[in-house]
Amino acid sequence: MESKENQWSDVLVKSKQGHLKRWLRLLLKSKTGTIGLLIVLLIIFIAIFAKLLAPHDPNQINAAMMLKPPAWVEGGDTDYILGTDNLGRDILSRIIYGSQISLVVGVASVILAGIIGIFIGLVSGFYGGFLDNILMRIVDSFLAIPTILFALVILTVFGPSALTLIVVLGVTNWVQYARLIRGEVLSLKEREFVRAARSMGVRDHKIILKHLLPNVISPFIVISTLSVATTIILEASLSFLGLGIQPPTISWGGILSDGRDYVATSWWLAAFPGLAITITVLGMIFLGDWLRDVLDPREKKV
């Protein structure tokens, strides 16, 4: 236990001091971790440089080029590598632009959920007692609501937009962080360094900020990478259902949704945006798994 913990803090400490080499060595040890990181970096790169990378204007309607199959299939056009949709828009360009919204919604909602969850978790775990009871029952009731249903209701009431989507996904996701962080805090506050801080009269908010928060960040990072992945799927599902991102803003779920009526004859309309989602999510999960191995001593295989 002790040595594992040492390695764990070792990794964090060294990285803080700029020992990137150490991280890199640890990363290269794990194949899936490397693949995951590469995928995530690639998606981020694509999202940032979408304008330069996309071969066509993603919203350019071209009646002459409707439902073209991918370039390597008979009847395909090399100009449109992944084919075109029912309005003659380039699928590749749409997927490239779609990565922006997927990432933004995924990351922003996780950050929002994280801020709420960490705060509630810290307060609940640290003070315990009645407050803890109340907060945890609230968490339980949130867990009892089906996420998709809740999101659908809110989006119908407030109207679908990227911002509402972020808020809705953030608000439904904070509970898992609150529970995780609370659990960590419960064990941390019995550790002797927290008791030491108390015995020397350090104020509560300082204990929370200086002793508890820095020690719950790494489990948070692990869960949040995995949670970005599920959020991207959720966003795609909502967009597919028509309550997510609205056109002309392009999202992967939206592309899927647009192609719904033509899937029987034109498989590429659904296959490529679906693939984009799968690869991104897989990359996030690989990265998250690796981070957990490195950051979280309890999940570590000896």
Partner 1 sequence: MTVILSVRGLKKYFDVTEGWWKKEKQYLKAVDHISFDVNHGETLGIVGESGCGKSTTGNLIMQLLEKTEGEIIFQGVDLSTLSKQQLRKKRAEMQMIFQDPFSSLNPRMKVFDIIAEPLLTHLNLSSEKLKEEVLSLMDQVGLDRSYIHRYPHEFSGGQRQRIGIARAIALQPKLIICDEPVSALDVSIQSQILNLMSKLQKELRLTFIFIAHGLPAVKYISDKIAVMYLGKIVELTTKEKLFSKPLHPYTEGLLSAVPLPDPMLRNKKDGVILEGDIPSPTNIPSGCRFHPRCPHAQEKCKNEEPTFIAHEEEHYVACHFPLKEGVGVLEK
* Among the listed residues 212, 299, 296, 213, the one whose alpha carbon sits nearest the alpha carbon of residue 7: 296
CA Rg value for the chain: 23
129 binds partner 1 (CB under 8 A): no
Cβ–Cβ < 8 Å for 93, 57: yes
298 binds partner 1 (CB under 8 A): no
Among 196, 263, 275, 279, binds partner 1 (CB under 8 A): 196
Which range in 7-15, 42-50, 127-135, 138-146 contacts partner 1 by CB under 8 A? 7-15
* Amino acid at site 42: L
Residue 1 or 144 with smaller CB distance to partner 1: 1
10 binds partner 1 (CB under 8 A): yes
Q: Quote the least distance from Cβ 225 to partner 1, whole Å.
A: 21
Q: Which residue's structure tokens are 């033509």?
A: 262
Encoded tokens for 245 = 């991102």
15 binds partner 1 (CB under 8 A): no
Residue 26's Cβ-count burial label (10 Å; 0-12, 13-18, 19+) is: middle
200 binds partner 1 (CB under 8 A): yes
Residue 75 or 201 with smaller CB distance to partner 1: 201
Residue 74 or 190 with smaller CB distance to partner 1: 190
Counting every residue written for the chain, the total comes to 302
Cβ–Cβ < 8 Å for 228, 281: no
206 binds partner 1 (CB under 8 A): yes
State how far the Cα of 86 lies from the Cα of 229, in Å rounded to an integer. Answer: 29
Cβ–Cβ < 8 Å for 178, 134: no
Residue 31 or 191 with smaller CB distance to partner 1: 191
Encoded tokens for 126 = 């640290």
Write out the binding residues for partner 1, residues 172-191 only, by CB under 8 A.
191
80, β-bridge pairs: 77
Residue count, binding to partner 1 (CB under 8 A):
24
Residue 13 or 44 with smaller CB distance to partner 1: 13
Residues at the site binding partner 1, with contacts judged by CB under 8 A? 2, 5-6, 9-10, 12-13, 191-193, 195-203, 206, 210-211, 214-215
